[in-house]
Amino acid sequence: MTNDQPDQPEVKRAPSDALAYTIEDAKRWASENTEDLDRNRLRCDDVHVQMFNRIMPAKSKVLWDSGSWLGARLRSHGATDEQVSSIQMAQGQRAFGGDAWRAAVDYANEYAATGDTQEKGGLELAVKRNAEIFGE
């Protein structure tokens, strides 16, 4: 799931002296942009987003907000749309049974430091997450 809505709130690049993004900063950005984020999430025509909005609205909001923050941060560091989509997918997979904000911040910091992330969204990460969560 990508959050590539044209009217997403703009994110300014972190100052060069900033050592790392923090969960507190990410949540503050989401709080400051909550109206735009909620409007975009609720208007999204993706069936998966709509389903989450109906059955788990609080989780949907956390995933959308943290994924939007992550996407904006990645773009500010020059990530391509393909990279943003893959890393946001990985963040969503990491959020399953975990902390969506921690995953978003970890991926943003890794990308800022290296220009990529080791984990990519997809089947390999899904199998890894299932083993981590269920011990299989």
> For the chain, what is the domain count?
1
What is the pLDDT at residue 6?
A: 42
What is the pLDDT at residue 117?
A: 96
Q: Is residue 18 part of a domain?
A: no
Q: Is residue 81 part of a domain?
A: yes
Flag whether the pTM goes above 0.85: no
Q: What is the mean pLDDT of each run of 10 residues along the chain (136 residues)?
A: 46 51 97 97 96 95 97 96 96 92 97 94 92 87
Q: Is residue 46 part of a domain?
A: yes
What is the pLDDT at residue 19?
A: 60
The two tokens of residue 82 are: 């393909």
Q: Is residue 11 part of a domain?
A: no
Domain of 28 in residue numbering reads as 23-134
What is the pLDDT at residue 53?
A: 95
Q: Is residue 121 part of a domain?
A: yes
What is the pLDDT at residue 96?
A: 85
Handedness of CA 26, 121, 128, 54 (dihedral sign): positive
Long-range contacts of 104-108 (CB under 8 A, 24+ apart): 104/26, 104/66, 104/67, 104/69, 104/70, 105/20, 105/21, 105/22, 105/23, 105/26, 107/70, 107/74, 108/21, 108/26, 108/69, 108/70, 108/73, 108/74
Q: Is residue 14 part of a domain?
A: no
